[in-house]
Amino acid sequence: MTFDNHLAITPQLVADHGLKPDEYDKIIQLIGRTPTYTELGIFSAMWNEHCSYKSSKKWLKTLPTTGPRVIQGPGENAGVVDIGDGQALVFKMESHNHPSFIEPYQGAATGVGGILRDVFTMGARPVAAMNALRFGDPSHEKTRHLVSGVVAGVGGYGNSFGVPTVGGEVEFDERYSGNILVNAFAAGLADTDKIFYSKAEGVGQPVVYLGAKTGRDGVGGATMASAEFGDDIEEKRPTVQVGDPFTEKRLLEACLELMQTGAVIAIQDMGAAGLTCSAVEMGAKGDLGIELDLDMVPVREDAMTPYEMMLSESQERMLMVLHPEKEAAARAVFEKWELDFATVGKTTNDLRFRVLWKGETVADLPIKDLGDEAPEYDRPWVAPKVPAPLASDDIPQMDVADALLRLLDSANSSSRRWVYEQYDTLIQGNGLQLPGGDAGVIRVEGHPTKALAFSSDVTPRYCEADAYEGGKQAVAECWRNLTATGAEPIALTDNLNFGNPERPEIMGQFVHAIKGIGEACRALEFPIVSGNVSLYNETNGRGILPTPTIGGVGLIPDASKMARIGFAAPDEAIVLFGAPDWWGTHLGQSIYLRDIFDRRDGTPPKVDLAHEKKVGDLVRILIRDGVATAVHDLSSGGLALGLAEMAMASGIGATVNQLDGGDPIPQFFGEDQGRYLVTMSRDNLERFYEEVYPYAGVFAPWIGVTGGTSLKLGEARPVEITELKTAYESWFPNYMKGEVA
């Protein structure tokens, strides 16, 4: 096969690279000539939406990214926060939506692989993973296959790599039928003085390629991920990468071992747009040029062209700049782990990105311009229309006990056991709270008391109805879930999944969601340290629900003062913290309406951020003082679902009052925000109302008592916990067996 680097650059070829005509004109203007074929590929890799954030950058800049614990905000492989004692937590969330729809197992697996690499590239050993998965209508012909493949792929990679999955989300909605979402989160621990960054330093230093060999897989993947899907989707399968967790595990151990030697100046993993993106980023950040000799790149296949090598997204690869005098020691580490180690280039002082192949210069570009001059758009947007509030006389009625059982046995409120039992949740031996609670908790190995909490949250139906309130709610719910374990929420990563930003109404959702997220982060002192944007989640012109997934982390100073959702003992008082009048009545956009009556009307519940903070801070104090014996945040499904989950987690029942003269449906299924269920002993209850409540400024009515083997909600018939559990554990396995739609 001959390779023509001077292929005529036709308008069609430019369009095939996902570049707009004006973007191509800008390239010519920047370099003063027609680009070579390889150069066109490099520009398309650097300037696509996935890598350049060209539609989102303007708005991302408005988000709060600093705080007393923030060591590194967005812009590196992952964010870094200080967790005390000279230790740092390194974490990020990233999407692998498009590949997972095309090839669910490998798409999801490499999503997990990519995010793990982002974390250990910075010198951190991964200690926790989460994944937020969103699938289409359960009755859609592809959904079961996608669930099965994605879950197996997440497990296949993470289990083999050896990181515990501590939490996540699985949700179904017909709006994801043509575009599923796979958002993978990973966190790792490192010493604060041993964090590694991607900024190259020093002229003439060796640029070293590490890990697996380069193949043709994933060529053009990032460009694919920056376009809508059409009917030709099946043809895109070759753009999906194939994961090798065994190599990744060896790469982890080799990198951490190498970092101990002091040889590493800069390191960058090869993710989207592979060699191109990693080399350009390292050089541009350090104000240095990079020269690569592709003849030195370890390849898996014969006759690879420079174009393919520069755009390959083969997995489990890293690029480093090393101290030349330590090159031999570094090579020995990689040989021990039987990984490729090749010096493929050097840093230069001319600020050029030069690529050599068989004695020819196939690309010679200004390195800073590849990133800095990437197009940036202020896309037109229109404010999304917010629906009318639900009329108070428009509440469909149903028996409270029947409604609860129906929700427990439904696609979106049932147990996710079928999913999380396919993930290794126990490995590393540090898990204190496994999936199924408000947040996953792990202890910090080597520290006598410290623990970390993790939660992933967003309520896309709220965002669809009101992107601003929905953005606020995603952050607030994550903060609340962390708080419910007793953790101090310290920072978050966001994974913003939206449709086509070239449509003003989608751009409007994006803008409003960011405004809501930013406001909540500021009010809750919960900065964003890393993130990812996934746009163009559309098929044949129909977009997903706006889904800004929030992955938050919290710090628990003393894990012996931690709360769980299960009732701790019988005959304890159940107190509803943060309750509004009538305890909660907001049914607009609730799952009661959607999942029982197929209604998606009304406004979503509003988040009062000052209230949120006041209630959460009080609940956290009660946990840390040992007063709160069990805590659960209230969210989808309201009081009824929250109480059922607390009962099922413990096997202890409860009897809860009903307000006189009101409609029990909004009371038990309303989704008002900023609420927690807290249990405490009778003695502490008395002390709480005498000593704390008068000064707390938080409405916290005593609503019921734990005990017995059934859950009794107001006037409704008592439901045995065994019956609740049967309903709760049924839907997922039955669905996967093909027994329910």
Catalytic residues: 50, 96
Summary count for the chain: helices (H), strands (E): 27, 28
**Strand ranges across the sheet with 264-269:** 264-269, 317-322, 206-211, 340-348, 289-293, 352-357, 360-366
Residue 192 beta carbon to another protein: minimum distance, rounded to whole angstroms:
22
* Residue 333 CB, nearest approach to another protein (Å): 13
Nearer to another protein, 151 or 288 (CB): 151
Residues 14-33 that bind another protein (CB under 8 A): none
Choose the stretch contacting another protein; rule: CB under 8 A; options: 221-229, 240-248, 671-679, 694-702. 240-248
**412 in contact with another protein (CB under 8 A):** no
Phi, psi for residue 227 in degrees, rounded to 5? -135, 160
CB of 19 to another protein, least distance (A): 38
Compute the least distance from the CB of residue 78 to another protein, in Å. 21
Of 428, 603, 710, 734, the residue at the interface with another protein (CB under 8 A) is 428
CA dihedral of 720, 400, 582, 588, whole degrees rounded to 10: 130
Phi-psi region of 147 (alpha: psi -120 to 50; beta: other; left: phi over 0): alpha
Segment interacting with another protein, rule: CB under 8 A, options 244-252, 454-462, 608-616, 634-642: 244-252
Q: How many angstroms separate the CA atoms of 245 and 395, rounded?
A: 51
DSSP secondary structure code for residue 560 in this structure:
T
Task: Please identify which residue in 11, 32, 68, 429 interacts with another protein, judged by CB under 8 A.
Answer: 429
The CB-of-435 to another protein minimum distance in angstroms stands at 10
Q: Which is nearer to another protein, 139 or 148 (CB)?
A: 148
Let me know: does 126 contact 164? Beta carbons within 8 Å.
no
Check residue 249 for interaction with another protein (CB under 8 A): yes
For residues 534 and 97, is the Cβ–Cβ distance under 8 A? Answer: yes
Nearer to another protein, 401 or 487 (CB): 487
How far are the Cα atoms of 385, 480, 579 from residue 676, in angstroms, in the given order?
31, 8, 8
Reference 632, options 450, 468, 481, 470; nearest CA is: 481
Q: Does 337 bind another protein (CB under 8 A)?
A: yes
Q: Could you tell me the smallest distance in angstroms from the CB atom of residue 582 to another protein?
A: 39
Interaction with another protein in 442-471: which residues (CB under 8 A)? 443
Number of residues forming the site for another protein (CB under 8 A):
30
Q: Are 689 and 616 in contact (CB under 8 A)?
A: no
Assess 494 for contact with another protein (CB under 8 A).
no
In terms of CB distance, is 153 or 664 closer to another protein?
A: 153
* Interacting residue with another protein among 423, 479, 567, 668 (CB under 8 A): 423
What are the residues whose beta carbons fall under 8 Å from the beta carbon of 68, sequence distance 6 or more? 82
From the CB of 426, what's the least distance to another protein, in Å? 5
Residue appearing with tokens 């009824």: 640
Interatomic CA distance for residues 17 and 24, integer angstroms: 10
DSSP lists the bridge partners of residue 131 as 168, 184
Q: Tell whether the torsion through CA atoms of 223, 229, 235 and 241 is positive or negative.
A: positive
**Phi, psi of 230, deg, nearest 5:** -125, -160
Asked if 472 and 148 count as a contact pair (C-beta separation under 8 A), the reply is no
By CB under 8 A, tell whether 421 contacts another protein: yes
Report d(CA 533, CA 650) in Å as an integer.
39
DSSP per residue over 436-486, as a string? Answer: TSSSEEEE-TT-SS-EEEEEEE--HHHHHH-HHHHHHHHHHHHHHHHHTTT
Among 250, 586, 632, 712, the residue binding another protein under the rule CB under 8 A is: 250
Quick one: 182 or 521, whose CB is closer to another protein?
Answer: 182
- Selected binder of another protein within 55, 179, 268, 425 (CB under 8 A): 425
418/668 with CB nearer another protein: 418
CB of 430 to another protein, least distance (A): 7
User: Using the rule CB under 8 A, is 559 a contact of another protein?
Assistant: yes
Beta strand pairing call for 451-457 and 440-443: antiparallel
CB nearer another protein, residue 443 or residue 472 = 443
Q: Which is nearer to another protein, 343 or 734 (CB)?
A: 734
Q: Which of 18, 73, 188, 245 lies at the binding interface for another protein (CB under 8 A)?
A: 245
- Two tokens, residue 238: 């070759």
- Closer to another protein by CB, 423 or 510: give it: 423
- Is-contact 474 512, C-beta < 8 A? no
Residue 709 to residue 654: CA distance in whole angstroms: 8
In the list 56, 160, 530, 684, the residue contacting another protein (rule: CB under 8 A) is 160
For the bound state, the minimum distance from the C-beta of residue 449 to another protein, rounded and expressed in Å, comes to 11
Please enumerate in sequence order all residues whose Cβ is within 8 A of that of 429, keeping only pairs 6 or more positions apart, or say none. Answer: none
Instruction: Determine the interface stretch with another protein among 45-53, 417-425, 539-547, 665-673 (rule: CB under 8 A).
Output: 417-425
Q: Is the dihedral of CA 567, 573, 577, 581 positive or negative?
A: positive
Reported residue count of the chain is 741
Find the shortest distance in angstroms from Cβ 425 to another protein.
6
Tokens representing residue 525 in the block: 């002192």
In the range 100-159, which residues lie near another protein by CB under 8 A? 152, 155-156, 159
Q: Which of 7, 388, 426, 610 binds another protein (CB under 8 A)?
A: 426
Residues 516-555, one symbol each (x = binds another protein by CB under 8 A, - = not), give ----------------------------------------
Q: Does residue 162 belong to the site contacting another protein (CB under 8 A)?
A: yes
Note whether 424 binds another protein by CB under 8 A.
Answer: yes
Chosen residue from 427, 568, 696, 740 binding another protein by CB under 8 A: 427
Q: Find where tokens 């964090």 sit.
A: 195
Nearest-approach distance from CB 626 to another protein, in angstroms: 17
Buried b (16+ CB within 10 A) or exposed e, 512-538: bbbbbbbbbbebbbbbbbbbbbbbbbb
Interface residue with another protein among 139, 343, 430, 710 (CB under 8 A) is 430
654-656 and 710-713 beta bridge pairing: parallel
Q: Cβ of residue 194: shortest distance to another protein, in angstroms?
A: 19
30 or 152: CB nearest another protein: 152
Q: Which two tokens stand for residue 78?
A: 């992952």
> Whose Cβ is closer to another protein: residue 161's or residue 676's?
161
Distances (CA, A) of 338 to 64, 213, 241: 43, 12, 22
Closer residue to another protein, CB minimum distance, 173 or 438: 438
Q: From residue 15, give the alpha-carbon distance in Å to each of 142, 277, 736.
A: 30, 20, 41
Mark the segment that binds another protein (CB under 8 A) among 203-211, 423-431, 588-596, 708-716: 423-431
List contacts with another protein (CB under 8 A): 152, 155-156, 159-162, 244-247, 249-250, 336-338, 420-430, 432, 443, 559
